A and B are shown apart, each in its own frame.
Chain A
């Protein structure tokens, strides 16, 4: 099957391209094939398979985030070649290709200029190692060893999957694995070893010394993985910056691209400076060597609702069946997860409840400027000494995308959070806030020390504040700012009240004080089976996608309740509180798998909000100087 995909593509029906329907047919054909069950898993993924194992001009897929959109370019859609020996003219198709065939007749009148656009795509930033790993394994599983795959590649799969201890694997380990492992997987659970070696394996083509002079522009520091220049032919307007897509397209790594780009005679430039309309920086950003940044000619792109490999990705019948089957056990999984989180939060059940709600929150709509459904949680009173770090590792184990931003004075002053347009290189230089939807952003305020924020630090803090309040990031275009809406779950851990705004603050009240925090958390973590953790992962992703409504009856009840509350104490209950309680009620219902708000649900929401508030009051009176 796979062979056949590729063969069709290696020799595109160029000769017959006078027929315009041809292109549409090809697209339709591929879309049809890919819609078929499982067929998409036969396509090798750029995320998993090292680039040098992939055959050029074959069909590949890439799970990515649109990091930048370059200017549209005109290319030779149809051109004519002249065979030097026979002098015969042949019409050829330039679509889905970077480089023309030999012997182009540049003066042919049959040349058709067409338009396409290039997107700069990077792997989804902050994708958790487990998500990478599972999607890798599932892809590897279906790849039949008997397929067309060249023997080299076949072997590589075998090595990676079954034979961890073969020689080549070991060699690669010190090269790529070391750093990665320490950052992400210190627990050494059963799979960690696998991740250490696997996740970065797709990186081997881009050794670290290479990336030093070529900035691949990943939003987050320490990210790895292939970046890709995706050539888009259809539906340009339907794509937006920061979309997460699964792109199916034709891989083009023609080494000619690199040579063409690099071979610039400096003397030629001197003679005619206008020949180079691009600055060297621009050249580097837009035409990086194909071996580092492969080109991908898009046939078809699927917007990803989530990147959790445990869930069926497409909204098909498959998924609804999956959802309904899972709904049954939702409540029990919730209880287990709550218990787990309670342990993690040192026995604080209320904080665990709120953390759970936070993890399934999602901006589901916007009313003019107001994002609805966001639920930024501020966990105050966190114990110091790397507790937050451990906490993040546990969150990372649960969500498919996450990033921990340690808000130390140094990082706040030096880090670039907001993407900025670099007009010299003509690209959008990424920042840590350029994240995919539903990414968990873990802001660790416990790292903050006394000192002065410089102007970039103030800007960074403002950007974080904007992100939390309005769920938007104002990208810096130097002459103006441009607003990009986002959907990021922000969790702030702090000692006292956070300096950032938040939707809800929960002071942590540890019930247990383990003598050795590290050991304690590791034990909790180890106690969970992978299957259990997987259930949690599915649960969190799924609860977020459920629909939700409020019946008229409950609406009435809520209104009455609000009026009553105001009657008792108009100062303490404001519109803002109602906003928050409505969100809590929504999340609470969804967390139980209920898609409508019941009276009960509302009462519960009110109840836990009361508990939380009394706890905050208490905190306030305890240390009076707290604002």
Chain B
């Protein structure tokens, strides 16, 4: 490549007074065109620098090239050095016993930066000794070719960053236990010296806030800047902790590049830049051992030599240098050096995809210790470098075995038609699992959607409106007519309560999710409401009670077809962790399936013990269930319990139970008709005007869920206490306990959710009032005793209405009276007693009632029933 650009570099070089060796000549090509194979003819002609020296401005490189002499003869081929700072002596890697200090600690290759495929290791030490440092200090204004990065300044800046950066507001879990007022990264270095894991994760946003220019350089020229960072950090580290022993030198892993991108928005400009993208792992390959260095031994004289891999190829030495035997060298696999590599396919996460298109996938390469860090299904943020590789790797003519070298100068033009497509991949520098924390705790930042300033502003404006609650609830499923209270209930469910953690006091987590049951006649658009909610929430699941089994809801164990390992496949409830699980046809569900819900709906966990896997999964999901009455049509002569026929243990776990009944009222009919007809002829725009955009609603909910954590204030707690006492009183008035602590908890949750709707950090009396109203409203409908018309929560809790109980009591008393009036008769005939009671009572008494009464009296130890005889005690 006779590039004219190389001339000025030559002069720089001479100024450095460093012997230019053939190998270092070939070292670099302009970084802007880091492409393999610009060198045409080398392969067979060792030590012929075909491309003139281009450049490497970094003094460190030249300096280190001094150390490379022994290697040079072994690997004389041209060296394409994409990074000026290729470092790492193979010898030290193999032989080096860990000693302390920069020099002593082996350097580990960074295939994540320079592509390992093409990276011929040039044995350059990165350690910059005093001479170099002073040279730099002398203020050379050298920059790495093609960039504006000056290694010296860059290093200094980064060291300053490490030494000074303080982030008092940090709340990352990684920084737990660190003193926030001390320089953050110095503490991390200290940690490294203690733990011995030589990886320093650097948050790019920290770099940015500290030095925007440095950040820009990092993003734009990661291949150059990150090695510089490495150098800087190692110098600093071994200065501080001269005695520490590390496996290899510290590597800097930047993450959270602010230029976080959607996979869809990657474009050619991003090539060779540092990017952070998020996605979901869909496939991981087996571990690929990639040979870094081949070890050859002469069969004759046992002389050994090492050959570095050059773009996936090993130049087998034809002649032994020691004994001059030809073709005597054999590859010794055991002593060759390999590095780990893994191909990972990442797919766009479904959340940030435009509708109607298929998700994109990207190939990602993980190296060394990043291998096997992620599993298929993980949602991750990847920081890495986008690389491209020409796809035209195959030539028509079969002799073209090594294309990169062969392409440009091929004499025969027939052979040089190539496919004009590149392949792209990302070399990973850092993984960050976004769903990792879902496994063990809260996931405040996994859901963290980035809201723009304006968006937040609009949301806040919306929140400031006095009627925001009504607005939002009417924006919910606008195609469904009225049902205001139900929509409000669902709205509160979408917001959820505040999560409370009492696990330290041994009371565990308190559920923050609101569960709702809709029960009603067929055709009252329950399913539609469920579908709407399912579409609205990011982590919603929709199942039908008819179609789902207990396994489908919880989790099952299956054999992974690829790895042949047993894996736990999660069901709908676990998948909707932190979301809403919509269960249609709740009544059609089998009892065993339904029983699974007990644990989920109160403890918010799911315990599994099957196929040797015993575990407890988080299932912090809200349940929105819809059920038809037993007789498919609501029977107004029956109680809710009788209509729904669900176990009351389950029913009591629903915070709100709404009845969706046909009101059969003329005015309602008229409004309904109007609504429906309008649905059919109004244009799209008219609808838009009337209601809030679904996207706004989504953002509003997401924002509130993430940032608003309301707490009860004094008045509100008083109001809650009163409300609860009231509820208890209603029951106690008839001698029954009707409200349970569960209902109080429901009230609190609803009040908190309502405060969230207002974007308020305090739960105030209004919230409690609304919660009370809604609770009463829902209960009024669902727990109205059809025989008395009174609200009676005990229907939900015991499955029997208060009147029914009272009646039972009365029968028992009547029976007792009757027996007492007979005087001293120790034994009575069962049938006779029944007939007598029937004759005495004005109300019809069934055999069941009679037996119940007998049992009640037996419980009082008043009598016993043996066979057909009743004996008094």
Seen from chain A, the residues whose Cβ lies within 8 Å of a Cβ on chain B are 68-69, 71-76, 79, 82, 84, 94, 97-107, 109, 113-115, 237, 239-242, 256-257, 259-261, 263-265, 268, 271-275, 277, 365, 367-370, 372, 421, 423-424, 426, 428, 458, 462, 469-470, 477-480, 482-485, 548-550, 555, 558-559, 562-563, 566-567, 570, 574-576, 578-579, 582-583, 586
Contacts and interface: CB of A to CB of B under 8 A. Distances in A.
Nearest to A265: B401
Interface stretch (B390-398, B452-460, B726-734): B390-398
Contacts of A274: 117, 288, 290, 312, 341, 343, 365
A579 B117 CA distance: 64
A102 B479 contact: no
Interface in B497-548: 523-525, 527-528, 531-532, 535, 544, 547
A90 to B, nearest CB: 13
Contact of B677 (A365, A462, A548, A555): A555
Contacts of A79: 420
A271 B282 contact: no
Between A68, A263, A567, the greatest number of chain B beta carbons within 10 A of the residue's beta carbon is seen for A263
A422 to B, nearest CB: 11
Contacts of A479: 280, 282, 347, 376-377
Nearest to B666: A563
Interface of B: 1, 3, 29-30, 32-33, 35, 37-38, 117, 266-268, 271, 280, 282-283, 288, 290, 312-313, 341, 343, 345, 347, 350, 353-363, 365, 376-377, 388, 390, 392-396, 398, 401, 407-408, 410-411, 413-414, 416-425, 477-479, 481, 523-525, 527-528, 531-532, 535, 544, 547, 662, 664, 666, 669-670, 672-674, 676-681, 684, 687, 694
23 contacts: A98-B419, A99-B420, A102-B416, A106-B35, A106-B407, A107-B3, A107-B35, A107-B408, A260-B395, A274-B290, A367-B479, A368-B479, A369-B477, A369-B535, A370-B679, A424-B283, A480-B350, A548-B681, A559-B670, A559-B673, A559-B677, A563-B670, A575-B676
A240 B357 contact: yes
Contact of B350 (A75, A428, A482): A482
Nearest to B267: A115
A72 B418 contact: no
A460 to B, nearest CB: 12
Given A82-B408, A559-B673, A69 B357 contact: yes
Contacts of A98: 419-421
B388 A74 contact: yes
Given A94-B420, A274-B290, A479-B280, A71 B360 contact: yes
B384 to A, nearest CB: 15
B528 A370 contact: yes
Contact of A271 (B313, B388, B524): B313
B98 to A, nearest CB: 30
B535 A368 contact: yes
A113 B268 contact: yes
Contacts of A105: 408
Query: Taking chain A's interface residues, is the majority helix, strand, or loop, or is none over half, making it mixed?
Result: mixed
A237 B354 CA distance: 8
A367 B411 contact: no
A236 to B, nearest CB: 9
Given A263-B394, A367-B478, 11 more contacts: A76-B420, A98-B419, A102-B413, A102-B417, A103-B413, A260-B396, A272-B312, A426-B345, A563-B666, A566-B664, A570-B664
B508 to A, nearest CB: 30
Contacts of B388: 74, 113
A92 B552 CA distance: 57
Contact of A582 (B37, B347, B395, B677): B677
A74 B421 contact: yes
B361 A71 contact: yes
B673 A574 contact: no
A260 B666 CA distance: 74
Contacts of B377: 479
A562 B673 contact: yes
A274 B312 CA distance: 9
Which 8 residue pairs across A and B have the least CB separation, nearest first?
A240-B356, A272-B312, A367-B479, A562-B673, A102-B413, A113-B268, A550-B681, A559-B673
Given A103-B416, A566-B669, A72 B360 contact: yes
Contact of B356 (A271, A478, A485, A563): A485
Contacts of B527: 469
Given A68-B358, A79-B420, A423 B679 contact: no
A84 B531 contact: no
A275 B37 CA distance: 15
B38 A426 contact: no
Nearest to B678: A555
Given A106-B35, A559-B677, A574 B523 contact: yes
A423 B347 CA distance: 10
A470 B531 contact: yes
A225 B271 CA distance: 39
A281 B662 CA distance: 56
A465 to B, nearest CB: 9
Given A102-B416, A550-B677, A579-B676, A75 B422 contact: yes
